[in-house]
Structure 1
Amino acid sequence: MSDAIDRLIAPFPRTRLLSWATPVEALPRLGDRLGIDLRVKRDDLTGIAFGGNKVRKLEFYLGQARHEGADTLLITGAVQSNFVRVAAACAARLGMDCHVQLEERVPGQGDTYRSSGNVLLDDLLGATRYSYPVGEDEAGADARLHEIAADLTHRGRRPYVIPLSPGHPPLGSLGYLVCAAELMAQGALDVDTIVLGSGSGLTHSGLLFGLRTLGWRGRVVGICVRRAAAAQAERLLRHCERLAALLQVAVPVGPGDIEVHDDVLAPGYGQVNDPVADAMRLAARLDGMLVDPVYTARALAGLIACAADGRIAAGSRALFLHTGGLPALFAYETDLRSRVLNG
């Protein structure tokens, strides 16, 4: 890791959950189809319980939880949340209980969505599940989680809450400062553009912050998976400001560094549209790569759209950050059979 990133993260407790650098691979056939030199950073291969980008974040959340003497982890997310699933797995590895709250964010889904995929794994991992009926109420979901934590405290437990809403110290972003240094050590920053899904914003802001700290000046393009581009750009800027305050350094990111696109977002979070279906087919059938319908397929669909209209120039070099989420494929069987396999 770079000395600059080492110094920044040194004051923060960290529980090591990832013991290797995830690989960077070529996507030759998909790249040829798009007319670009395309590679992928395989953060779906972070190991524990089907992995994904959340493992990097949990190293710091769980580091702080253990520092505080917590014995119970609480987290909230969508019904098919990857963060919830990996949190339950990491808590199990560390001998902690895990209480998870699942929010109703995606309309029109049936029984398979609520029982298979990540939900099935949450149960297998021993998590205690709760339901939250509202899908777009981050503050309310966090408040309910704190009520559960208060009850656990009353019963003699020592809970630690991973917050969802912005305004909290962005500990999870520290994991993507580490990833920025990892990319540099791998020689993977000889690209013009990095593309990733932008949801909570912690991965996007952490990676951008880390890359700018290391002096890399290329584009980091976020594809919106939950909210419109204007709102997401504002969220990312605030995350970067809070991250700078946490690290006690100047903000290396300005508004001009933040690039987000929302043209493949409709009809909304977790809902399969034609570009998402096309991205899933192309990735699987050209390069044998699986992407999930919520995050990585939408991010790849955005990359494909950018290559098609010149926002990513023909012949340029691009890196796609694969953030995992593959268990959700099984929960979306109905959509896959009707929208993806029949396309």
Structure 2
Amino acid sequence: MITASVPKVDLSKFPRRALLEGPTPIQHLPRLSAHLGGVNVFVKREDLNGLGGGGNKLRKLEFLIGEALAVGADTIITVGARQSNHARLTAAAAARVGLKCELVLTRAVPRFDADYLDNGNILLDDLFAARVHDLPGSANSLQFAEERANELRAQGRNVYVCPLGGSSAIGCLGYADCAAEIMAQSSAADLSFDRIVVPNGSSGMHAGLVAGFVALGLDPSFVTGFTVYGNAEQAYSITLDKANQTARLIDPNLRVNGNAISINEGQLGPGYGIPTDSMRAAVRLLASTEGLLLDPVYSGKAFAGLVESATSRKYLAGQNILFVMTGGLPGLFAYRSEF
């Protein structure tokens, strides 16, 4: 549980380019809370960031773009699935700061309808003037990105390659900073959270929050990640490794223990990007009770986990649960046929 003190995480030594307008609000959801039997549900509105349609990846990109500019890059390349939110926001951030952008996108999700292939994030990638490399699902996208970067370097370009989800240790610093932001907001509101719930895809947001809470001297095990990409064992291993890498960037003496990482795979379903009935129900529930929209790949599945935890009484009436609402709204339009 979050305590009252509000120490800071000093990230001043890292290059950073501001992409957010300021702290994102924490909002209470009274109608949903009543529907869930009195569990007090709050949302951290990462979807309200203005640039590029908003979303949590902008926190990582503040540090990734900052590092790219610091090394004199003129081009940024990143990787993801065809409807990647991270790719869309990388393209938007690149447009904001004047970098050329190339996206290496794989058809990792077995969907072939026109909405998925050409609407949603992929439409916005084009509007942000990114060059898209369309690869089959079996392709090694990062290898392709590195080879493409070398081609451009041979032409005299300075290229920065950004990993899946922006989830390098540098990118994860964005969510270490967010941990301090949550602390400051909870202290100002005289509020404490019994649980923080996040989607866990490329693991960067979860790892960054854990590293941030460790740097703040808090037990981070109250953060629960619902994996939407790999199974629990895979997600646990990746999250712990990235949390430790990030913590050591902040302070070489920091360590993240294995019991700090809580992963639940109960909402993964058949796999990444594949809809589930519980996801559809969760998206409709939040929309119909609070007028808020979740994406179908990340937040929709994680929020379904929150709902299941409340209805099964893993979360109890009177407890305060904070859900990190990651954005990804354009993905809804790519999944139109599922609703």
| Structure 1: runs of 5 or more not aligned | 337-343
| Structure 2: runs of 5 or more not aligned | 1-5
Aligned residue number for residue 276 of structure 2: 273
Q: Shift of residue 300 of structure 1?
A: 0.2
Map 1:60-71 → 2, pairs under 5 A? 60-71=63-74
Q: Shift of residue 312 of structure 1?
A: 2.0
Alpha-carbon distance in 1 for matches of 2:111, 2:89: 25
Q: CA 1:280–1:169 in structure 2 vs 1: closer, same or farther (change >3 Å)?
A: closer
- The answer to whether the 8 A contact 2:74-2:157 is kept is yes
Number of equivalences:
330
Aligned residue number for residue 181 of structure 1: 180
- The answer to whether the 8 A contact 2:80-2:165 is kept is no
Q: Shift of residue 253 of structure 1?
A: 2.5
Q: Are 2:250 and 1:241 equivalent residues in the alignment?
A: no
Alpha-carbon distance in 1 for matches of 2:8, 2:15: 17
Aligned residue number for residue 115 of structure 1: 118
Map 1:214-225 → 2, pairs under 5 A? 214-217=216-219, 219-225=222-228
Q: Shift of residue 315 of structure 1?
A: 2.6
- AA partner of residue 214 (structure 1): L
Between 289-298 and 106-115, the greater mean CA deviation after superposition: 106-115
Q: Are 2:94 and 1:91 equivalent residues in the alignment?
A: yes
Return the TM-score normalized by structure 2: 0.93
Aligned residue number for residue 314 of structure 2: 311
CA RMSD of aligned residues (A): 1.8
Residue of 77, 81, 85 corresponding to 2:80? 77
Between 45-54 and 185-194, the greater mean CA deviation after superposition: 185-194
Map 1:133-148 → 2, pairs under 5 A? 133-134=136-137, 140-148=140-148
Describe the SS at the equivalent of 1:186.
helix
- 1:203-244 deviation per Cα after TM superposition (whole angstroms, max 9, x unaligned): 001011112322333610101111111111111111122113
Aligned residue number for residue 170 of structure 1: 169
Between 311-320 and 89-98, the greater mean CA deviation after superposition: 311-320
Alpha-carbon distance in 1 for matches of 2:168, 2:332: 32
Alpha-carbon distance in 1 for matches of 2:253, 2:263: 23
Aligned residue number for residue 101 of structure 1: 104
Map 1:227-306 → 2, pairs under 5 A? 227-306=230-309
Q: Are 2:208 and 1:206 equivalent residues in the alignment?
A: yes
Aligned residue number for residue 197 of structure 1: 199
- AA partner of residue 177 (structure 1): A
Identity across the alignment (%): 41
Alpha-carbon distance in 2 for matches of 1:44, 1:255: 30
Q: Are 2:9 and 1:5 equivalent residues in the alignment?
A: yes
Alpha-carbon distance in 2 for matches of 1:190, 1:248: 26
- The answer to whether the 8 A contact 1:240-1:251 is kept is no
- AA partner of residue 177 (structure 2): V
- AA partner of residue 220 (structure 1): V
Alpha-carbon distance in 2 for matches of 1:53, 1:169: 15
Residue of 45, 50, 73 corresponding to 1:47? 50
- 1:99-138 deviation per Cα after TM superposition (whole angstroms, max 9, x unaligned): 0011112113312111100000000110001012125x6x
- The answer to whether the 8 A contact 1:221-1:258 is kept is yes
Between 104-113 and 39-48, the greater mean CA deviation after superposition: 104-113
Describe the SS at the equivalent of 2:256.
coil
- 1:285-311 deviation per Cα after TM superposition (whole angstroms, max 9, x unaligned): 011110010011111001111112232
